Amino acid sequence: METAEQYLQEKAGMVNDRLAQYVESWNDIPKQLKESVAYSLLAGGKRLRPVLVLATAESLGTEAERALPFACALEMIHTYSLIHDDLPAMDDDDYRRGRLTNHKVYGEAMAILAGDALLTKAFGLMAEGALAIGLPGDTALKLIAEASRRAGAEGMVGGQVDDILHENQSVTLETLQSIHRRKTGDLITFSVRLGGMVAGANEIQLEKLTRFAEGLGLAFQIQDDILDVIGDREKLGKETGSDEARNKATYPSLLGLSASKEHLRKTIEEAKSWIEGETWLNTHTLLGLADFLTTRDR
Amino acid sequence: METAEQYLQEKAGMVNDRLAQYVESWNDIPKQLKESVAYSLLAGGKRLRPVLVLATAESLGTEAERALPFACALEMIHTYSLIHDDLPAMDDDDYRRGRLTNHKVYGEAMAILAGDALLTKAFGLMAEGALAIGLPGDTALKLIAEASRRAGAEGMVGGQVDDILHENQSVTLETLQSIHRRKTGDLITFSVRLGGMVAGANEIQLEKLTRFAEGLGLAFQIQDDILDVIGDREKLGKETGSDEARNKATYPSLLGLSASKEHLRKTIEEAKSWIEGETWLNTHTLLGLADFLTTRDR
């Protein structure tokens, strides 16, 4: 049987190919904008969110191909958020995944517009994808409405706002969790829900998948914080110790390293328990991904 | 019979009220983000785009109320584009409609995120609006896909990219028109098409409405350029002569003032001819708006 790492690589390849096709066939747009978009969108990365979309759809018996436009749309939303977060007015980062950030290469104006273009395109892609695969209109519209909430002021954008507002402040664990839940958690949760919706999951199934995904998103963030303390710069492709240098609240800074690791372990076990043994779901892939992603060293 | 100016005022009031309700009921978002969004979204303005949505829907016999969520979504897209265009990395404007620009009040990070939040919300609002009024799924999804193209890299965002790339360069009339067509024209054209789609217009009707709207958008832009030369600062609520000061290509700078006025007159007459005498449409309001908007002094 395929390992989670193999699955992740295989499906990330599928996502990369399709994203490259979308960029290639994105005609009638300014050349420089296309370059700026391609630079960030085709930069690789784990493709965690789109792979979760595909994995969930497949685990419910739907071909990954059907869910691919939606998976790519989510990756576009994720990429736009990274481009905007890296801007001088925000986190002011020069490097991302070991390469110069978008605005360092194309300038701030183009980086802002590349982000705007990707966010706008993502919604069009979801609508076109729904039409192409004949997803029921109501399901498609609910899915788009939820994408808007999860990625918007109630979710990811709101989380980034609160993250910026709390910079250099001491925060409670509750505030930290609230920020993470929205800034990164909402999109991860939505990835799993999206895969479920495309595959026609019912409300009870979606609810269980949601709990699983919420735990996974939280665990992923704790792992990220831990890696920033103990990770290997070479493997991660980014500087470690950056959270501490920025005086940023993290799980290790609030709980200590050892309690953070314990919290991670418990979180992931609880997450998995929401889908373990469910007969409507082929749980092998999702459980494997959950273990792999939260024991990763990069 | 109501004058175009009265109609514009009445419907702008309807849009303002609904936008205020949306902001008011936008819960679970950071307080500062809500303030920043409200500052720009509820700042008034002509509400040209949403009024065109409502006017087109009404002219086809559909209640304005049904089209209101879509009209408000378009105004959110327009507002986000203004917030981002005003940023220091873009046009670097301190004032808009006689008030400080968003980033001058709330800072660059919040302005970027307020724009992102509005763009994201707009798509959610279209999806929710379609569900609420029971718009056929296919129509709703096509409408969202078109919104993405018109507002995105192929349309408004692409136009802004080319506008920035051609700053301080001498451009041909063709390039100037291509920039305007995308930067402002596409959203104006879409306003009319959106009203038509919500009202169930057929393809032939939509085609005629599209030609009308394309001419109207172009005329509106020529008028804008002319007003920047001869307009009254008090009435416009912004500085005049700003295009010349920025060395920006405009119709008057390329054609001269008198030829620009003639071009405006011809453009609006041709636009009107696309709908004049059409029996499926109550043309009074749209023709009145076309005349009023292109003879305006503000």
Determine the residue of chain B that is closest to A138 in CA distance: B137
pLDDT of res. A140: 98
Q: Burial code of B118-133, b = ≥16 C-beta within 10 A, e = fewer?
A: bbbbbbbbbbbbbbeb
Cβ atoms of residues B67 and B120 within 8 Å = no
We report the CATH number of the domain holding residue B283 as: 1.10.600.10
Helices (H) and strands (E) in chain A, counts: 16, 2
Q: Is the dihedral of CA A277, A280, A285, A291 positive or negative?
A: negative
Is B148 in Cβ contact with A120 (below 8 Å)?
yes
**Residue (of B149, B178, B150, B184) closest to B165 by Cα position:** B178
Q: Exposed/middle/buried for B232, CB within 10 Å: 0-12, 13-18, 19+?
A: exposed
pLDDT of res. A68: 98
| Domain-located, residue A298 | no
Report the first-to-last Cα separation within chain B, whole angstroms: 24
| Domain-located, residue A189 | yes
Distance of alpha carbon B77 from alpha carbon B5, whole angstroms: 24
Q: Exposed/middle/buried for A35, CB within 10 Å: 0-12, 13-18, 19+?
A: middle
Cβ atoms of residues A100 and A179 within 8 Å = no
For an interface test with B, the pick among A41, A85, A120 (most B C-beta atoms closer than 10 Å) comes out as A120
Secondary structure of chain A: what % helix, strand, coil (to 5)? 75, 0, 25
* Mutual angle of helices A137-151 and B137-151, in 10-degree steps: 40
DSSP character at residue A182:
I
Predicted confidence pLDDT, tens digits, chain A (298 residues): 789 999 999 999 999 999 999 999 998 999 999 999 999 999 988 999 999 999 999 999 999 999 999 999 999 999 999 999 999 999 999 999 889 999 999 999 999 999 999 999 999 999 999 999 999 999 999 999 999 999 999 999 999 999 999 988 889 999 999 999 999 999 999 999 999 999 999 999 999 999 999 999 999 999 999 998 887 666 666 667 777 766 778 899 999 999 999 999 999 999 999 999 999 999 999 999 999 988 877 6
Residues of A in contact with B165 (CB under 8 A): 30, 32
Distance of alpha carbon A135 from alpha carbon B75, whole angstroms: 29
Residues B55-69, mean pLDDT to the nearest whole number: 98
Residues of B in contact with A113 (CB under 8 A): 84, 157, 160-161, 164
Which of A137, A148, A158 minimises the CB distance to B123?
Answer: A148
DSSP character at residue A96:
E
pLDDT of res. B146: 98
CA distance A283 to chain B (A): 31
Please report, rounded to a whole number, the percentage of residues in chain B having pLDDT higher than 70.
96
Complex-level ipTM beyond the 0.90 threshold:
yes
Count of positions (residues) in chain B: 298
Cβ atoms of residues B155 and A116 within 8 Å = no
Is B151 in Cβ contact with A109 (below 8 Å)?
no
pLDDT band at B76 (very low <50, low <70, confident <90, very high): very high
Task: State residue A159 phi and psi, 5-degree precision.
Answer: -65, -40
DSSP character at residue A42:
T
Three-point CA angle A168, A171, A174, nearest 5°: 150
Which of A120, A158, A160 minimises the CB distance to B151?
Answer: A120
pLDDT in tens, A207-233: 999 999 999 999 999 999 999 888 766
pLDDT of res. A239: 65
pLDDT in tens, A100-116: 999 999 999 999 999 99
pLDDT of res. B238: 62
pLDDT band at B294 (very low <50, low <70, confident <90, very high): confident
Is A165 in Cβ contact with B120 (below 8 Å)?
no
pLDDT of res. A59: 98
pLDDT of res. B131: 98
Distance of alpha carbon B47 from alpha carbon B191, whole angstroms: 11
* Mutual angle of helices B48-59 and B284-294, in 10-degree steps: 160
| Domain-located, residue A243 | yes
Is A154 in Cβ contact with B28 (below 8 Å)?
yes
CA distance A170 to chain B (A): 18
Residues of B in contact with A32 (CB under 8 A): 161, 165
Query: Using CA atoms in the order A127, A131, A134, A136, what is the torsion angle rounded to 10 degrees?
Result: 50
pLDDT in tens, B216-262: 999 999 999 999 888 766 666 666 777 776 677 889 999 999 999 99
Query: Would you tell me how many other CB atoms lie within 10 Å of the CB of residue A270?
Result: 15
CA distance B136 to chain A (A): 7
Q: Which residues form the domain of B16? A: 4-294
pLDDT of res. B293: 87
pLDDT in tens, B123-163: 999 999 999 999 999 999 999 999 999 999 999 999 999 99
Q: Which two tokens stand for residue A80?
A: 């736009």
Cβ atoms of residues B144 and A124 within 8 Å = yes
Q: Which residues contact A130 (CB under 8 A, 6 or more apart)?
A: A137, A139, A140, A143, A144, B141
Q: Which region, left, alpha or beta, applies to residue A13 given φ > 0 means left and ψ of -120 to 50 means alpha?
A: alpha
Please report, rounded to a whole number, the percentage of residues in chain B having pLDDT higher than 90.
85
- H or E, element range at A86: helix A64-86
Q: Give the number of domains in chain A.
A: 1
